[in-house]
Amino acid sequence: MTTKTATISQTGPTKSDVKRLVKAMTAIAWAVLIVGVVLCVANLSHFSDQNVGLMVGIGFLIGSVHIYVIGTAIGLVHARLHQETPKIDQGDE
């Protein structure tokens, strides 16, 4: 009985995968922001903490900022990870 051995040539996400993720999260953040603005404008007549539509709209506005910041942070961390990979010399000393 023999076993097959598989090697993994790439252990992390590629640059294009991360770019696609950052672009998708940016698009989602804009969509959530637009929904939040629409909800806030539609429910602005009764400005109170009892107005559920207004409170949900404000939550969407805050959530869109968080989504955008997380997406941007993922892109920056990935860029820095590939920028600062030290090269280890295995040569003669």
- Divide the 93 residues of the chain into consecutive groups of 10 and give the mean pLDDT of each group: 69 76 95 96 90 95 97 90 66 55
In the chain, where are the structural domains located?
Answer: 22-83
| pLDDT at 69 (0 to 100) | 96
**Burial state string for 11-26 with b = 16 or more CB within 10 A and e = fewer than 16:** eeeeeeebeeebeebe
Hey, what's the torsion of the CAs at 10, 12, 17, 23, to 10 degrees?
-170
pLDDT number for residue 31: 97
The pLDDT value given to residue 13: 63
pLDDT number for residue 50: 92
